[in-house]
Amino acid sequence: MSAPASILAMSSPTTPPSILQKICNRDALRGQLGGLPRPWVFTNGVFDVLHRGHVMYLAQARDLGGSLIVALNTDASVRRLGKGEDRPLNNEFDRAIVMASQQAVSLVTWFDEDTPMQILAEIRPDILVKGGDYDMAKLPETALVQSWGAKALALPFVPGYSTTKLLEKIRAA
């Protein structure tokens, strides 16, 4: 698997190829997926400031299948989520680099929509995972993935770890 030219253009000469190879634009997604072992586990989110809760969650997600695919919200979609005027703190490519550096992660891409419904339909993963703070029964993504026989699971939430709470602590200092 090699990084698309557009990814290489955004990187620096010091970015290891092993990290860049895990990052994929939406237009190259179909070709990159073919090389990943199944079952495919999918998760999505902002992952603005990676912390212990994220790392534990990613490792648990990866253990559920052959590959873990992470779809990051683009900077524009993060702003539409209303997480704060200064969010994201790290731009989408920087967040992709950090995410791709994680051993548990097989592939990183982005989605610009308000929900991951479209990218889920494109990828058709075998397992959708979200953090335990989500009620899977209420998510439209659950019904979508179940329509092709996939599972939707909430992984245990690691209490006390949240980017929003971490930023509040930093700002109060």
The CATH number of the domain where 113 resides is what? Answer: 3.40.50.620
The model's pLDDT over 33-78, given as tens digits with 9 standing for 90+, comes to 999 999 999 999 999 888 888 999 999 999 999 999 999 999 999 9
Contact 150, 125 (CB under 8 A): yes
The model's pLDDT over 119-134, given as tens digits with 9 standing for 90+, comes to 999 999 999 999 888 8
Contact 47, 83 (CB under 8 A): no
> Domain span at residue 50?
5-172
The model carries a pTM of 0.89
Going from the C-alpha of 131 to that of each of 22, 26, 102, the distances in angstroms are 22, 24, 18
Name the β-bridge partners of 50. none
Total domain count for the chain?
A: 1
The model's pLDDT over 111-120, given as tens digits with 9 standing for 90+, comes to 999 999 999 9
Give the E-state strand segments of the chain in sequence order.
40-45, 67-73, 107-111, 127-131, 151-155
The model's pLDDT over 141-168, given as tens digits with 9 standing for 90+, comes to 999 999 999 999 999 877 777 777 777 7
